Amino acid sequence: MKTRVLKHLIAPHGDDLKDLIVDEQRAGELKTQSRDWLSWDLTPLQVADLELLISGAYSPLDGFLSRKDYESVVNDMRLPDGTLWPIPIVLDVTDAVGSKLKPGATLSLRDAEGVMLAALHVDDVWTPDRNADAKKLFGTTSADHAGVTQFVNDLNPVFVGGRIEALQAPVHYDFPSLRHTPRSIREELAQLGWRRTVAYQSNRVMHRAEQTFTYRAALEAKANLLLQPMVDSSRPENKDYFTRIRCYRDIDKAYPPQTTRLSLLPLHLRYAGPREALWHALIHKNYGCTHFIVDPALTNPPGDKPAYKESAYVDLWKKHGEAAGVVMIPFEKLYYVEDLDEFRSETNIPKNARVLTIADSDLKDRLDHGREIPDWFTFGETAAQLRRTHKPRYEQGFTVFFTGLSGAGKSTIANVLLVKLLQLGGRPVTLLDGDIVRKHLSSELGFSKEHRDINIRRIGFVASEITKNGGIAICAPIAPYDAVRKEVRRMVSPGGGFLLVHVATPLETCESRDRKGLYEKARAGIIKEFTGISDPYEVPDDADLSLDTTELAPEEAVWEILMHLEREGYIGVQARDVQ
């Protein structure tokens, strides 16, 4: 009965939907045998690939590609038997593990907790020329291309290919009710009688424009809609997928009842442009979809200029669309035409009509400052979800990071700032002064570049935790190196504000003060590697404020910092609060 119903659906890629989970008896055997096997702890990307292999989303693959398959995919976008498959699915391991593996061996694949998920029966172990292969896959070897760096730098050097026997799928505790296998989605589509289904895959929050586009696309294709938001948490920009998925859970209701289905896709992006979009289409076909909305923004690497033009997607589809067996629907950005109270594509906007859009940066700005998010732009539930996560700046945490020479006045200003912020109230304040940190966090460290960088990274980590949780961190180390200061900014910024204050008191002033007598010792060569004397200080080019204490009293310096924080919206300072 079930087979007859399923027949109405589009066939899986390669006609056979894989399911790599073995029965209980075989699982027991594999577990027992695994005592003698080598183990590999899977990376997040590999866990995602394994999950999609196991569930059949990567049908017709039944394991990680062997060398012959890999080369055929990289060179021709096809498996050796001619089946279209544009992206290589590989298991990359370290030299140490690779050197111990031979064809015929079995490798046990484990998740981060050490649970054995699958056995890999090794066919091939080889070291590919990843630079040459990146050129074929991405059309470039540029280090600015996120796909290239992921493939060339992030993957381990040795690839292992072979068939998979799985004991269990990776376990997810987040949104379990929204996770499905291609088989379960297919059964559901068949039961609902959906023969034609449009897949929409996205790693962004959907607003009214995207909802309208997907609704119209499904209507035009006389099809239903499968929304597949991605749950790739490997990159910082995708970290907050919890908020995204909560938004999707609500947006579901914006479509007519019984027309739309929501399911999470644990897929990691490769940023391989058109060939990746073609690959996504095959995955959606395995979920039972006949149409696929192709948004070039999804598979282009992040950057100002797209690496792959829209026309490249259309061209590749012309060449391989038939082999893919899925209809491509090019995504179109829609604009809100105020006079018509309607979304239109760029070519359909009446002359002189007032068009409204909100760019990502504008939306962030509105959230930062607690400004209105208009109803024409997004749904009330979506705006509320975004506000829950992205608090206005006056409720966000922040870090004030001082840098400057020894004796420049960092600690004095930091202490006054601490007191003023406590007087202002509203947030917990933590002072991470150079001396305190060196005593409690970095007591084993010296003053080599390597040790100073470790010290600053530790401070950055603590500051980012404090900031993320809504507190204020004041840091006051010398922090002489630019690169690690920038690293700290990148660590802290996603969770709140970051203000770099250069205490730019000149060396002569610091040396003439010489409160601790350290300069004298440094000049005499008693203290080695002393910043400004026998060790470098890289003046920041990205300081938000620069203060020279030769001319400023500590209270004046702190007042400038408070004014800056107020201008940026992090605090509201009334005169009585700081007097």
Nearest CB to ligand PPS, comparing residues 358 and 454? 454
Nearest CB to ligand PPS, comparing residues 300 and 505? 505
String of contacts with ligand PPS for each residue 423-442, x by CB under 6 A: -----------xx-xx----
Nearest CB to ligand PPS, comparing residues 419 and 527? 527
Residues contacting 384, CB < 8 A, separation 6+? none
Binding of ligand PPS at residue 479 (CB under 6 A)?
yes
Applying CB under 6 A, which of residues 530, 557, 562, 571 lies at the interface with ligand PPS?
A: 530
Q: Which amino acid is at 539?
A: V
> Is residue 447 within 8 Å of 529, Cβ to Cβ?
yes
Binding of ligand PPS at residue 189 (CB under 6 A)?
no
Binding of ligand PPS at residue 399 (CB under 6 A)?
no
Binding of ligand PPS at residue 411 (CB under 6 A)?
yes
For residues 446 and 432, give the distance between their C-alpha atoms in angstroms, rounded to a whole number. Answer: 18
Cis peptide before 60 (omega within 30 of 0): yes
Binding of ligand PPS at residue 401 (CB under 6 A)?
no
> Is residue 505 within 8 Å of 405, Cβ to Cβ?
yes
Beta-strand pair 291-294/158-166: unpaired
Binding of ligand PPS at residue 246 (CB under 6 A)?
no
| Min separation Cβ 485 and ligand PPS, Å | 10
Nearest CB to ligand PPS, comparing residues 250 and 529? 529
Binding of ligand PPS at residue 518 (CB under 6 A)?
yes
Binding of ligand PPS at residue 406 (CB under 6 A)?
yes
Binding of ligand PPS at residue 502 (CB under 6 A)?
no
For residues 118 and 110, give the distance between their C-alpha atoms in angstroms, rounded to a whole number. Answer: 7
- How far does CA 369 lie from the centroid of its chain? 24
Nearest Cα residue to 51 out of 237, 282, 268: 268
Instruction: Name the one range near ligand PPS by CB under 6 A: 113-121, 273-281, 330-338, 524-532.
Output: 524-532
Binding of ligand PPS at residue 460 (CB under 6 A)?
no
The site that binds ligand PPS (CB under 6 A) totals a number of residues, namely 22
Nearest CB to ligand PPS, comparing residues 34 and 549? 549
Judged by DSSP in three states, 149 sits in helix
Q: What is the chain's alpha carbon radius of gyration, rounded to the nearest angstrom?
A: 28
Q: What is the enclosing helix (H) or strand (E) of 125?
A: strand 116-126
Nearest CB to ligand PPS, comparing residues 87 and 478? 478
φ, ψ at 260 (rounded to 5°): -135, 145
Binding of ligand PPS at residue 66 (CB under 6 A)?
no
Nearest Cα residue to 434 out of 461, 464, 404: 404
Residues contacting 439, CB < 8 A, separation 6+? none
For residues 373 and 379, give the distance between their C-alpha atoms in angstroms, rounded to a whole number. Answer: 9
CB atoms within 10 A of CB 551: 9
Binding of ligand PPS at residue 336 (CB under 6 A)?
no
Nearest CB to ligand PPS, comparing residues 535 and 548? 535
Binding of ligand PPS at residue 162 (CB under 6 A)?
no
CA atoms within 13 A on the CB side of 160: 31
Applying CB under 6 A, which of residues 11, 527, 552, 573 lies at the interface with ligand PPS?
A: 527
Nearest Cα residue to 456 out of 531, 525, 397, 390: 531
Binding of ligand PPS at residue 369 (CB under 6 A)?
no
| Min separation Cβ 489 and ligand PPS, Å | 15
Binding of ligand PPS at residue 226 (CB under 6 A)?
no
Contact residues: ligand PPS, CB under 6 A: 406-407, 411, 434-435, 437-438, 447, 452, 455-456, 477-480, 516, 518, 527, 529-531, 535
